[in-house]
Amino acid sequence: MLPVHFLTIVLNGDPFIRYHLEVFRQLPFPWHWHVVEGVAEQVRDSSWCAQRGGRVPQDLHRDGRSSDGTSAYLDRIAAEEPGRVSVYRKPPGVFWQGKVEMVTAPLAAMTEDCLLWQVDADELWTAEQITRARRMFLDSPSRTAALYFCHFFVGPSLVLDRLDQYGNYRAYEWLRTWRYRPGDFWHSHVPPRLMRPQPDGADLELGAANPFLHEETAAGGLVFQHFAYATREQVAFKEVYYGYDGAVRRWDALQAAGRAVGNGALPLRDFFPWVTDAATVTRAEHAMVEPLARPDAEGSWGFVPPARGASTAPAVALLRNSGPAVRRRTLVPGEPPPFPTDLIRSVGVFLPDGIGAVLRESGFLRELRRALPLARITVFATPDAEAALALCPYVNQRVTLPPLKGRAPDDALVTAVRQEIGQQFSGAFDLTINPHRGEDASFANRLMQDTGAPLRLGCRVGRPVRGYYADAFLTHVAATPAGLLGALAAGEPDPATEVWTSPAGERAAAALLAEGVPARWRCAVGLSASAGAGTLSELCRRLAARGDTALVLVGEEAAKGAAARIAGDAGDACLNAVGRLGFDGLCAMLRRCDLFVGTGAPAEGIAVAARLPMVGTGPEHGDPTAEAMESAIAGWLADRAY
């Protein structure tokens, strides 16, 4: 059943403490809200507050409890929901001995397996988000916790807009949900560490064991709104309790500057001296964030239902200027998708290693379309792949990239391409994929990160290439392209390649074949200007003499001379198609053949994608003689049924 137990510790939580219950009441599953109220003495895990000058003056509380109306509100809702809201307090005048004692208080009452969800008073979630997160845990029973991004408010309409800075450090923020079992215990509150005793006497930290990553929860729209510094009263509390001297005066200055900032950004450390990193502040509307809580003209706060529901757009905006992924998940075959695929609306596929990469991943593109039938798929590839992608029925948009293979990471062209992608496609994708296995020689992984896509999938490289550690820019890695597809759809994907044609190409191939002599088997012979034609010429003479095989010569324009000589030697059994077909016609022709010998781009790549047998040729055969190739082909034909 997986009920959800929410846990909140609070002192003076008005107005945001009043938001949560109405959201919880909308949930379509069992839930319980545990609220622990009161002053945490600045000892043990809270001693850092006292070390920087924090204190607990008498006017901060009333007999160790809230002094702003929170206590009365909690009494009322506990009476309204006696089976679903529990309030925990110390006796009047007694403080909690640190926050670990506070979060530990409800655990004795949690006697069932459940999701334990920490919800601070000023952390706002929607019912849709909570329901989706629970569904993710239900679908993935091995997951032990979840990490989230937040929209961190430093004023009623001001938010932080950068990751891995104050308010959104992926290294340790924000761990908020755990798969709880009775017997689990808190090791610390900041950072929150929930532990599970193991049979060998060790303790397992659930948040580090197998959590949903930030990027996975962001893909589901699970980015909460954290109104940490939204009101003057909150800041006054922090000034005293945390020892942030001058916080109210500096916060007032930030609000004044924020009203005039327009679409720009302000360094937070210019206003909050306890912030020393590069966090910047922007207006909520500029960050595409719709606040769930807003003050009216008189300063009274109210709560506003989300206008658009869960959306990945704000998460993408947060990720836009982020660095490499902090954590990477290794995809395990057979596991369910690690993120909600129904919210993936835009996908970028990077195939910048030439037409061969596009042909090799033709099956991947087909299975990707099957897994995400409503998504817009954009493929980034080099100019030579344009003809193939123009025929692909699974792609919505094509973007041409210059060849980058073999260049250094700091090469001027690499830098220029990265900048252009960052400018044109920033925030354009929910998901980017590099399905090519092997070294990331064309910087696909780095280019994917430049788009700011929250999810970036690729095959494991595992070592630096020319000083470029490609895995660092991925959020998910797999051993094979099929493993990447496993992250998008349940079931076993079919990685088989295919070739695409057009009606015009089909007609051209059919018309050309009508010129030849009918035969039981068609053997495509690939010719290139760089490969010697002597062996292939002898092979064609031998095959023509069999009387049951039609030869179809294909290849580059530069091979026309060699093709004419071979056709003259082989006689009527040979159809010379070199230079007579466009790319789509060549695809249609090779689909009509039964096997392939020789070499030459793009014919050889098309033959591989069409799954034509390459009998007696290929790297594993070295440089075979015509007699050896004929023998291998004869053996292959003998096993075929007429």
Residue 4: its pLDDT value, please?
98
List the one residue out of 12, 26, 155, 147 whose CA is nearest residue 72.
Answer: 12
Same domain, 176 and 113: yes
Determine, yes or no, domain membership for 395: yes
Determine which of 43-52, 117-126, 569-578 has the lowest per-residue pLDDT on average.
Answer: 43-52
Same domain, 473 and 514: no
Residue 518 CA to residue 135 CA, distance in Å, equals: 60
Q: For the chain, what is the mean pLDDT?
A: 90
Domain boundary pick from 247, 271, 306: 306
310 pLDDT above the threshold of 50: no
506 pLDDT above the threshold of 90: yes
Domain that holds residue 466: 323-485
Determine which of 421-435, 458-472, 544-558 has the lowest per-residue pLDDT on average.
Answer: 458-472
Same domain, 438 and 513: no
Same domain, 343 and 444: yes
**DSSP secondary-structure letter at 465?**
B
Same domain, 400 and 549: no
CB distance 245 to 53 below 8 Å = yes
CB distance 234 to 145 below 8 Å = no
Does residue 323 come out as left (phi exceeding 0), alpha (psi in the -120 to 50 range) or beta? beta
Question: What six digits make up the tokens of 238?
Answer: 């922090």
* Overall size of the chain counted in residues: 642
> Pairing between strand 521-527 and 549-555?
parallel
Residue 90 CA to residue 550 CA, distance in Å, equals: 92
pTM: 0.85
When divided into structural domains, the chain yields a total of 3
Strands (E), 255-338: 266-267, 280-283, 293-295, 301-303, 329-330
Determine, yes or no, domain membership for 98: yes
Same domain, 51 and 181: yes
Contacts of 611 (CB under 8 A, 6+ apart): 496, 497
List the one residue out of 535, 313, 525 whose CA is nearest residue 428.
Answer: 313
Determine which of 113-117, 271-275, 314-318 has the lowest per-residue pLDDT on average.
Answer: 314-318
List the one residue out of 642, 620, 573, 550 whose CA is nearest residue 632.
Answer: 620
CB distance 170 to 164 below 8 Å = yes
Determine, yes or no, domain membership for 234: no
Residue 579 CA to residue 558 CA, distance in Å, equals: 9
Residue 237 CA to residue 248 CA, distance in Å, equals: 9
Question: What six digits make up the tokens of 551?
Answer: 């030869």
pLDDT tens track for 222-240: 999 999 999 999 999 999 9
Residue 603 CA to residue 138 CA, distance in Å, equals: 48
User: 638 exposed, middle or buried (CB, 10 Å; 0-12, 13-18, 19+)?
Assistant: exposed
Residue 583: its pLDDT value, please?
94
Same domain, 53 and 184: yes
Residue 315: its pLDDT value, please?
64
Break the chain down into helix, strand, coil percent, rounded to 5: 35, 20, 45
Q: How many Å is the maximal CA-CA distance in the chain?
A: 106
533 pLDDT above the threshold of 80: no
Same domain, 417 and 507: no
Same domain, 539 and 598: yes
Higher pLDDT, 436 or 118: 118
CB distance 609 to 590 below 8 Å = no
84 pLDDT above the threshold of 50: yes
Same domain, 25 and 98: yes
List the one residue out of 500, 522, 510, 503 whose CA is nearest residue 609.
Answer: 500
Higher pLDDT, 174 or 338: 174
Same domain, 559 and 411: no
What band does 618 get if pLDDT is binned at 50, 70 and 90? low
Residue recorded with tokens 């002192």: 11
Kindly report the CATH number assigned to the domain that includes residue 432: 3.40.50.2000
Using alpha carbons, list the distances in angstroms from residue 64 to 45, 70, 89.
18, 12, 9
pLDDT tens track for 110-125: 999 999 999 999 999 9
187 pLDDT above the threshold of 70: yes
- End-to-end Cα distance, the chain: 59
> Pairing between strand 280-283 and 158-160?
antiparallel
What band does 616 get if pLDDT is binned at 50, 70 and 90? low
Residue 84 CA to residue 78 CA, distance in Å, equals: 8
94 pLDDT above the threshold of 70: yes
